[in-house]
Amino acid sequence: MLILSEGDLVPADATLLLANDLSVNESVITGESLPVSRVIDQPIYRGRS
């Protein structure tokens, strides 16, 4: 289980079980410069903020 706050780096790959208005910076993976919204049952990846 991971508990993240604004500005935290994701310490491990995970699947969201519960989230409240979560956006992550995936620019290293996708090249997208804007944060990406994530919802329940979507993956988040280690090292993203």
Binned average pLDDT, 10 residues per bin, the chain of 49 residues: 88 92 85 88 83
Does the pTM surpass 0.85? The reply is no
Task: Give residue 30's pLDDT.
Answer: 82
Task: Give residue 48's pLDDT.
Answer: 64
Collapsing DSSP to helix, strand or coil, 29 comes out as helix
Task: Give residue 45's pLDDT.
Answer: 86
Torsion of CA 34, 5, 47, 37, to 10 degrees: -30
Q: Are strands 36-38 and 22-24 parallel, antiparallel or unpaired?
A: antiparallel
H-only helix segments in the chain: 27-30
Give the Cα separation of 31 and 48 in Å (integer): 13
Task: Give residue 18's pLDDT.
Answer: 92
Give the Cα separation of 2 and 30 in Å (integer): 23
Task: Give residue 28's pLDDT.
Answer: 80
